[in-house]
Structure 1
Amino acid sequence: MEYVHGGDIYTHKGMTDFSVNLNPFGPGRAVVEAARKSMDQIGNYPDASCRKLKSALAKRLEVPAEHIICGNGAADLIFTAVLADCPRKALIPVPAFAEYEQALRATGCEICYYKKREATGFQLEEDFLDLLNEDIDMVFLCSPDNPTGKLIDRSMLWKILARCETYGIRMVLDECFIDFAENAATASILADTKRWRTLFILRSLTKMHAIPGIRIGYAVTSDMEFLEKMEQSRQPWSVSIPAQVAGMASLKEGMRVKRTCDFTNRERIWMENELNKLGITHYPSDANFILMRSGINLYEKLKKQKILIRDCSNYKGLGEGYYRVCMRQRGDNQKLIDALGEILYAGQGEF
């Protein structure tokens, strides 16, 4: 099976990796140490209910613990949610994260697509609401969006949610990159899960805390019947002891999260300005990554300079010439900009 994501450091060894959207400072020491110490407990089965982690999340998020489900990364919860709901017909705005479609296809679901327009920065527009009707069982949204990094306006999310409530559509809202958004507290609609049963918020602890090798994510919804179906639709013990312990430790990194958010937002603004100077087309982002477009094969050109970026040509709704880069620390970011400048100079033309 073709690998369709970033972070394939096993194929592309020894490269500076801009293809994954993680905390540029790596995992925090306390999280690593907590995971390391938990290895003393691997002779036991993990708590299948993740009770301590749910309790810690409930306190942080100010939602009931029984509204939370934890999983082996956000992708695990995407597949479990689809398997539990068994939608007949689903709607995905594209471009979008590949796992939405993969999970839906695995259950034989019919998929409809809404193609976001490049002219509007790949934002959802009012005509999207017209597609939410009695024929649709599930819709996948992402805010900040992947691959554009753009937040969906809250007023639009509420309009979509109202339609979903009217027609009984499960609204899966992926907020895995919300912690990188400068206005995360006001951009998220997680609090609305308490009164809207169709709303299912998906989050990951691996992005901000840079622990993708641990695999830990969670989701929030007030639909208790749906949560029970999810529990019955998956394997037990899906979240390991190290993952649960690392997850709890990560929730104590409030100041580190703020510093990282401030840093990545400053670096994104800096990088956007540098891309403007080079004349590279890119799209407004609210997250820790940028989508850009070029007539030059930047993926192959940068690979020769030991820099790995995300080739987005396999995103439905994009195609050849689209690339995504994350924010790393300034030295690496400068290295990327310098390399792009060299490619432009060598081509004696424009991107």
Structure 2
Amino acid sequence: MYKYEHGGDIYTEKLTKDGHSFVDYSANINPLGLPLGIKQAVQQALKLCINYPDPFCRELAEVTASYLQLPQEYIFFGNGAADVLFRLALALKPGRALLLAPTFADYEKALRTVDCKISYYNLQEARDFAADNDIVDAITPDTDLVVICNPNNPTGQLTSRELLVQILDKCRLVGAHLLIDECFMDFVSEEKAFSMRDLLATYPELVILKAFTKTFAMPGIRLGYCLSGSSELHTALHQSGQDWNVSILAQEAGKAALKEHEYLAKSFKLIEQERSYLRNQLAALGAKVYGSEANYIFFYLPKPENLPELLHERGYLIRSCANYHNLQAGYYRIAVKTRVQNRGLIKALKEAIKTCALY
């Protein structure tokens, strides 16, 4: 039987034993929720659904290109970033790929569909799970694709621009592509955030993955995209799946999302404040916090061993990271939410730890 391995499963059990909804800390979604402008755009677009969607997402591409200050032909849209990942695997058909460990599971899942062999660069706890310069040596002549999640999921660690340029140059030398997943970069503090998209014109080997999902709290709408300066790759992406992979509702939602400047400003301020609050509170409870530069916190807390179950009993869902490559039981990831919600989680954590101490 297929086993779902991501966070965000609010469907297996919809309510707690006392009839309340679970507070889902297992999925990293903007805590401000879906902006009103997106809701209105989706409602107004319902009348357009008698038509097929634009297979090239032309209006959305024009707006996004202006927003990113990039040529429109650099953008390929999909039914969420995960959909783009599977298309990229089919379009590139790499024989061998290098992945960080731990990292987002769907890179490997997508690559396995084209029988790609996987090599892992094991991130070291002693280095706070950050990639080091020796990753360049792990890129060999038989490497066809390198995938870097930046900031990484689940650790929230950033790979520096300088190291990414070294990796990119090594990829060019051996004839490999570099996929950089920047889906969570929107939540990184202003002084640390950066994008590699200014190098797209110079490096046709570079592909950047982005999504509307997390930033605008619209995972149920499904909208993501990748950026590449290679026209050959764009053609291959279109040939690797159906033409109507982005619904009319998703295209209209995306256009509306890019107008939500005030929403984004409020989101960044909230995330920065609450990220600091959660880091400090977790540290005070004896947890070791790593990275955590985005809208989620990655930490190690060996006791209680059944922490997810104890929090589940109290109405909270968190992401155990024990099933990630190169991790073990005791590692967890939680989303950053509002102060009221975060206080509730910390209270539940304290109760869980106290329960463990009694036995």
**SS at 1:42 equivalent:** helix
Deviation digits for residues 165-222 of structure 1 (CA, Å, limit 9, x no counterpart): 1222110100001110112785211111121111100000010100000000011110
Deviation digits for residues 52-75 of structure 1 (CA, Å, limit 9, x no counterpart): 011011101111000110000000
Shift of 1:121: 1.2
Is 1:70–2:77 an aligned residue pair? Answer: yes
> Residues of 2 paired with 1:292 and 1:212: CA distance?
25
Aligned partner of 2:56 in structure 1 is 49
Deviation digits for residues 217-248 of structure 1 (CA, Å, limit 9, x no counterpart): 01111011111111111111000000000001
Shift of 1:152: 1.2
> Residues of 1 paired with 2:91 and 2:191: CA distance?
29
Residues 286 and 301, structure 2, Cα contact 8 Å, conserved in 1: no
Is 1:222–2:222 an aligned residue pair? Answer: no
> Residues of 2 paired with 1:311 and 1:37: CA distance?
39
Q: What does 1:264-275 align with in structure 2 at a 5 Å threshold? A: 264-275=271-282
Is 1:150–2:157 an aligned residue pair? Answer: yes
> Residues of 2 paired with 1:152 and 1:262: CA distance?
23
Q: CA RMSD in A?
A: 1.3
Gaps of 5+ in 1: none
Q: 1:111 aligns with which of 112, 118, 131?
A: 118
Shift of 1:285: 1.4
Q: Cα 1:349–1:180, aligned 2, differ >3 Å: closer, same or farther?
A: farther
Aligned partner of 2:140 in structure 1 is 133
Is 1:345–2:354 an aligned residue pair? Answer: yes
**SS at 1:55 equivalent:** helix
Aligned partner of 1:298 in structure 2 is 307
> Residues of 1 paired with 2:338 and 2:193: CA distance?
27
> Residues of 1 paired with 2:275 and 2:98: CA distance?
31
**Which letter does structure 1 place at the counterpart of 2:7?**
G
Report the number of matched residues. 350
Is 1:3–2:4 an aligned residue pair? Answer: yes
**SS at 1:9 equivalent:** coil
Q: What does 1:26-37 align with in structure 2 at a 5 Å threshold? A: 26-37=33-44
Q: What does 1:266-285 align with in structure 2 at a 5 Å threshold? A: 266-285=273-292
Q: TM-score, normalised by structure 1?
A: 0.97
Is 1:332–2:336 an aligned residue pair? Answer: no
Q: Cα 1:88–1:184, aligned 2, differ >3 Å: closer, same or farther?
A: farther
> Residues of 1 paired with 2:191 and 2:72: CA distance?
21
Aligned partner of 1:207 in structure 2 is 214
**Which letter does structure 2 place at the counterpart of 1:252?**
K
Shift of 1:284: 2.5
> Residues of 2 paired with 1:20 and 1:184: CA distance?
25
Shift of 1:349: 8.0
Q: 1:235 aligns with which of 233, 242, 246?
A: 242
> Residues of 1 paired with 2:186 and 2:68: CA distance?
13
Shift of 1:326: 0.4
Aligned partner of 2:28 in structure 1 is 21
Gaps of 5+ in 2: 15-20
